[in-house]
Structure 1
Amino acid sequence: MDSMETDQLTIVNRSRTHHISKKLIISKIPYFETLLRNGSFMESKKNMVKLNLDEQAFQAFLTWVESDHLLIKMETLINLITIMDYFGINNYWMDRLVTYFHDKFSISDLPVVIPQVTPISKCIDSGTLNAFICRHFLKIASTTVWLNYPIETIEYICKLDLMVHSEMQVFNAIMKWANFASNSRTEYRERLFKLVRYCNLECEDLRRIKGNYYGNFSNLTSIFCMPAKCIGDCEFDRSNQYFSVLIEEMDGTDLRVKVLDRSLHSLTKQVFKLDESISLRLFPNEYVSDIVFDSGSKMIRIDWKQKKYRLIGFNDYKNYYYEIAKCIFKKQNEICYKIDENRDYEFFAGCSLLESNEQFVFFSKHIDAKQGKRTASLRCWTTPSDATIEKSLGDFSRNYLATISDEDVYILTFNLELIICTISYINDTRKFEPRATSKFDDLILTSMPGQDKVMLIDKSTRIVECFNVKDKEWVTIGLLADEINPTDDQRKSNKLLTLTSAFLQLDRIRILS
């Protein structure tokens, strides 16, 4: 009795052979109905189909066809979605699987997700996943999950154009992983050390790591490239991706976005249109940037390719943080610090959520009641819990400005007192004497990328004051002028919305401009 008479279809997938009811698979999968009911196809004549799909995911797919039962695992999820798309499964099932991925993904899944993604894979492609890893590398490398990654995952990540302030942060992450299980991981050090881009290290850092760590690896001598002797063929500088971003309101709802260098000279500028439909998913595509501003109370999501943006208020911004925290930090082990205390009850108001290298920092007012008297203090929480943030949501009228530079926090109160601290304790307080009459609501406080400076900008006058951290002095450094003789494409701005700092892929932005 041949296979047609027994209603049996043979499927050869790579090196494995499967047998399934022909009638069953035709009734459920449109691809096979088209293929097997058309007598002109060889597959129909031989009752045999040859495929080249991931075997583990294909086995899960066949189980679903035969039993209407599907066990979803991250180990096969993206390959399974690819298979379903290949066979033309309806969007209902595809959407359920994609939703599952976005709801359940965490960085602990990277070792099984990375091998499944490609530049064209469904659900999430390699470009989108890599952009997420690059943007959040410092947070990922600060977790215990990082310590337990296999060598292949560490190697994959450290090859990317990671967004770091210094190449030493990549080196330190490698050492942290290698030292966690030093006996079994010593053999991988040389392999991983080759992924550090030495040309982009400070000379002092380069000399230190050569002397302390590389003595036993003579084969690595050829990869060292002193910055002063660079011949120009070194890889992309990962530490040069943090820029100042100036955003101006224009006619209607259009915004003009300028990316500035450390001297506040324009590197690129573009006009963007409002699009409230832009998704707030944790994994935007590789052409999207998230920029936090207004002392950590708002965010703007910019699509550099589509030339569109979406403004995000604190409620949506804190939900965005919840998604990141759930995905990256296995446990939100928050720690609370007092920034300033024993103030009048009304002295502090509002809250801020800022990012600092490896963590998020949340600022909020706290009420102390002693001997019948209520006083206010400003507190901060590192890696705050959802509950801590939710308790403060009723207080939106923030009356202070906040910014973070490296590990230092700067708070400017409504009476123009600058509080300088390193999260756990106050270093200094400085009174700011403005050079011009400024309304507090018109002021922007922001740190300068890669510099020991904090800027204070008056949105109405565009005067820029600078606090030099080393000298501890305020200095007027200039004026942020508008366009000269603006054209239709360079319309005069109505208002300065913000000046802030963010990680950006400038080369990609320039290509798209």
Structure 2
Amino acid sequence: MGNVQIPIEVSSHQRIPSLESSESFFGKNFTVQHIPALINHLKNETSVNYNMLNSFLSRNFLRLINGEYFLEFPLEAVKYILSLDLCVETEYSIFQAILNWIQHDQCRIVHLQELLKCIRWCYTFKTCYLHIKENEFMIKNLPDELDALSCEPNECRNSCFNSRIKEKHLISLYFLAENKIGMSLYTGDNFWSYCASFDEDDQIPIGVISEEHVVDVIFDSGRTGVRFDLVQKKYRFLDMSGSPSAYYNQLHDCFKPKFDRESSYRAYIQDGVKKIEDWVDLQKNTLIEYKGEMHIICYTQKEQKLYVFLPVEHVHWYNSPFAEHRIHACIVNDVCYIITKSLSFRVFDMLKKTIEKSKPFADMHLSFDDLQMDQHKSNIILLIKSLKKIMMFDTRKKVWTLMGQIHFENKMIALTSTYMPVQFIKKMYAKS
């Protein structure tokens, strides 16, 4: 890896000393506060450092814009980041980042039109475009100019090179041997294509920033994680929280997420929805990342009431160890789907603040510990590990159906939907 030979200036009062290697800097000392200086230093290089930085910014864009530092970035750094092939589900995330940065300092309004050109309008859904156009801030400041700024594929005016909307891949993980994991990719119609096998290697670096072919797969409602090296075919399980080097501890230290009590919503959802203001003693049963923020669905320690904390407002939830596994949960389109240990199914609408309860598994003789829940393409998927059966909850029709079954003898680890770099999946296919 290339060396960083010169001091990197971060601001008029802070400098990073010269480093023997950028690998040690990225691994141990890196925080997003240093991104503007690193962009300025590396943007004219064609180095591994440059590629690693761009990959990091792309994968962690939502975490970045929800942190303390992004709002203080200079214009050139913001433009650089917004021009990358970011990992987003819609271009509306780019608009939100622009809006937050502009509104942080009223003097920045002069840069609004310039930054709106960073949106890849050719790949913006019509509903997303209307959502932007009808935004109160846009109506007030650019009531008539948006149509002239935006563009379409047959008349592109903003260098919309390609779509950066990334789809998640549904993968299955299973043990091939004691220290060997297999990975298969769902390709439709209950068909799973074998990708590769991975050998355990506890020497894989665990820093927040990594090369593009190193990916983290998080499952079990945020409680378990595995880091995969897709080139070297290695893996290691991650310590998720409770120590300085653990996954969530590192995320907090790197991104310094904003904790805003006013925007955080806390409520009991045991019997109806009851918003509360006072702090209560909570278990850490889940930690679910949604739109770059961490959310808790958990039980209170004393009253044993089901509770939501959206998003969390204190570093404690990143750093503290997990309590007993009592909840399967995931969030899709601002709706939280929950399966409790008693196998009740709850649907909590985070916008309407309503809860629905049902017992769809009452006659199926299932075990909570034998289940694993995730989401894929706006639907809920539920793996029954011992049977290798997959159920799906259609979030629009609100019905459970049998999606399929995995036909192999190996012990299942997880079924999860995650971002995988397409170029490395293709290479794994070719070699397998």
TM-score bracket for this pair, using the shorter chain length: 0.7 to 0.9
Q: Which residue of 2 aligns with 1:458?
A: 384
Q: Which residue of 1 aligns with 2:255?
A: 328
Shift of 1:179: 3.9
3-state SS of paired residue (1:125) = helix
TM-aligned CA distance change 1:99 to 1:313, over 3 Å: closer
Q: Which residue of 2 aligns with 1:111?
A: 36
| Match among 55, 69, 75 for residue 151 of structure 1 | 75
Q: Give the letter for the 1:467 counterpart.
A: F
Deviations 1:311-343 (A, max 9, x none): 12444798211211122125544646234448x
Are 1:366 and 2:316 counterparts? no
Q: How does 1:31-430 map to 2 (within 5 A)?
A: 57=7, 75=15, 77=17, 80-81=18-19, 94=20, 102-117=27-42, 125-186=49-110, 188-207=111-130, 209=132, 213=142, 215-216=144-145, 220=149, 223-225=151-153, 235-260=161-186, 266=192, 269-315=195-241, 319-329=246-256, 331-333=258-260, 335=264, 337-341=266-270, 351-368=285-302, 375-381=303-309, 382-383=311-312, 385-388=314-317, 393=322, 395=323, 397-422=324-349, 425-430=353-358
Q: Is the 8 A contact 1:339 1:423 kept in 2?
A: no
Shift of 1:250: 1.2
Q: Which residue of 2 aligns with 1:18?
A: none
Deviations 1:440-477 (A, max 9, x none): 2221111123x2x2121211222222222233222223
Shift of 1:310: 0.7
Q: Cα RMSD between the aligned structures?
A: 3.6
Give the Cα–Cα distance (whole angstroms) in 1 for the partners of residues 182 and 149 of structure 2. 47
Q: Is the 8 A contact 2:334 2:349 kept in 1?
A: yes
Q: Is the 8 A contact 2:68 2:258 kept in 1?
A: no
Shift of 1:297: 0.9
TM-aligned CA distance change 1:421 to 1:464, over 3 Å: same
3-state SS of paired residue (1:189) = helix
Give the Cα–Cα distance (whole angstroms) in 2 for the partners of residues 390 and 288 of structure 1. 24
Give the Cα–Cα distance (whole angstroms) in 1 for the partners of residues 92 and 406 of structure 2. 34
Q: Give the letter for the 2:31 counterpart.
A: S
TM-aligned CA distance change 1:479 to 1:74, over 3 Å: farther
Shift of 1:376: 0.7
Q: Give the letter for the 1:250 counterpart.
A: L
| Match among 386, 394, 412 for residue 496 of structure 1 | 412
Q: Give the letter for the 1:338 counterpart.
A: A
Q: How does 1:12-23 map to 2 (within 5 A)?
A: none
Same amino acid, percent of matched pairs: 21
TM-score (norm 2): 0.79
Q: Give the letter for the 1:383 counterpart.
A: V
Q: Which residue of 2 aligns with 1:445?
A: 373
3-state SS of paired residue (1:351) = coil
Give the Cα–Cα distance (whole angstroms) in 2 for the partners of residues 116 and 413 of structure 1. 50
**Structure number having the greater helix percentage:** 1
Give the Cα–Cα distance (whole angstroms) in 2 for the partners of residues 467 and 437 of structure 1. 18
3-state SS of paired residue (2:69) = helix
Q: Is the 8 A contact 2:239 2:246 kept in 1?
A: no
Q: Is the 8 A contact 1:351 1:398 kept in 2?
A: yes
Give the Cα–Cα distance (whole angstroms) in 2 for the partners of residues 165 and 136 of structure 1. 13
- Structure 2, gaps ≥5 residues long: 272-281
- Structure 1, gaps ≥5 residues long: 1-52, 61-71, 82-93, 343-347, 369-374, 483-492
Greater shift in the superposed pair: 283-292 or 109-118: 109-118
3-state SS of paired residue (2:203) = coil
Give the Cα–Cα distance (whole angstroms) in 2 for the partners of residues 321 and 304 of structure 1. 22
TM-aligned CA distance change 1:189 to 1:314, over 3 Å: closer
Q: Which residue of 2 aligns with 1:509?
A: 425
Q: Give the letter for the 1:509 counterpart.
A: I
Deviations 1:62-93 (A, max 9, x none): xxxxxxxxxx986454xx33xxxxxxxxxxxx
TM-aligned CA distance change 1:193 to 1:299, over 3 Å: same
Q: Which residue of 2 aligns with 1:486?
A: none
TM-aligned CA distance change 1:289 to 1:419, over 3 Å: same
Q: Give the letter for the 1:358 counterpart.
A: G
Q: Give the letter for the 1:259 counterpart.
A: L
Q: Is the 8 A contact 1:247 1:256 kept in 2?
A: yes
Q: Is the 8 A contact 2:249 2:318 kept in 1?
A: no
Deviations 1:179-223 (A, max 9, x none): 44454442x3333223222232212333554686583367646x4
Shift of 1:249: 1.6
